[in-house]
């Protein structure tokens, strides 16, 4: 069974058909890319997959479970986490606390326990601190744990957002333009990090990206979207060598 199956997904805003008959199948452990020009509908697809938008039609199956139209919280609990093109961190909180926020799906105590600082509070907080530090270590941020998130360099903020998303223990990680604003060295480090995430956590990754060096370097399959419709899909090397794709969407 595929991890993600999207069938005939579509959405309209008023009279505008933003995405139409979008289909994708992603296997467990796959690194999959969604590419296309600005305004093609890529982020709209992500927003439907994560419950930000409710599809007008179509079906989304995650590991066999129908999650179509569910809320963002329900979808996250089902196993989809994401990052954003414009980084969304709790910038006034510490690096450690940013990750701990994501752990509350799995570590819970009552409001009364927190107010009264009962034994369960200290036990749970200790476990959360340990788990968060483990995640920060993966992303080489453990020495920044007590810093405010806004004080991190741009590339490290990107890594922190990924660490927070993974702390929810998803089955599928969606990355929206993860290399945006990065220099070539940072992009190369990001590629290594995405591979590490896949290999260490067995993670399945779907990313939107314009950086073709990153796409060609890590994605096993691609779907090309244009004006809300699928142009083509297949193995990365085949898609990127398609003359129509090269001419119209890659600028070469």
Where a domain ends, among 135, 165, 195?
A: 165
Instruction: Report how far residue 131's alpha carbon sits from residue 190's, in angstroms, rounded to the nearest whole number.
Output: 22
For residue 60, the enclosing domain spans 1-79+170-252
Where a domain ends, among 106, 134, 165?
A: 165
Q: What is the pTM of this model?
A: 0.89
Contacts of 147 (CB under 8 A, 6+ apart): 94, 95
Report the number of distinct structural domains present in the chain. 2
Along the 252 residues of the chain, how does pLDDT read in single tens digits?
799 999 999 999 988 999 999 999 999 999 999 998 888 899 999 999 999 999 999 999 999 999 999 999 999 999 999 999 899 999 999 999 999 988 876 666 565 565 556 666 667 778 888 899 999 999 999 999 999 999 999 989 999 999 999 999 999 999 999 988 888 888 888 899 999 999 989 999 999 988 888 888 999 999 999 889 998 899 999 988 877 666 655 554
Q: How far is CA 29 from CA 24, 92, 195, 225, in A?
A: 15, 34, 10, 22
């Amino acid at each position: 069974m595929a991890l993600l199956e999207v069938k005939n997904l579509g959405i309209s805003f008023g009279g505008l058909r933003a995405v139409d008959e979008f289909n994708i199948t992603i296997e467990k452990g796959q690194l999959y890319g969604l590419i296309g020009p600005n305004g093609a509908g890529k982020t709209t697809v992500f927003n439907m997959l994560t419950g930000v938008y409710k599809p007008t039609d179509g079906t989304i199956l995650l590991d066999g479970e129908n999650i179509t139209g569910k809320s963002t919280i329900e979808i996250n609990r089902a196993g989809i986490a994401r990052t954003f093109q414009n980084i969304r961190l709790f910038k006034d909180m510490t690096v450690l606390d940013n990750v701990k926020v994501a752990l509350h799906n799995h570590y819970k105590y009552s409001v009364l326990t927190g107010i009264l600082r009962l034994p369960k509070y200290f036990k749970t907080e200790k476990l959360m601190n340990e788990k968060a530090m483990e995640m920060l270590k993966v992303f080489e941020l453990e020495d920044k744990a007590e810093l405010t998130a806004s004080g991190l360099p741009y590339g490290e903020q990107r890594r922190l957002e990924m660490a927070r998303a993974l702390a929810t223990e998803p089955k599928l990680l969606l990355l929206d333009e993860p290399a945006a604003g990065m220099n070539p060295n940072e992009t190369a480090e990001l590629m290594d990090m995405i591979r590490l995430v896949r290999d260490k956590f067995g993670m399945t990754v779907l990313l939107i990206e314009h950086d073709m060096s990153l796409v060609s370097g890590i994605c096993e399959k691609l779907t090309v979207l244009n004006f809300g419709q699928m142009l083509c899909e297949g193995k990365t090397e085949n898609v990127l060598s398609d003359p129509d794709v090269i001419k119209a969407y890659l600028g070469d």
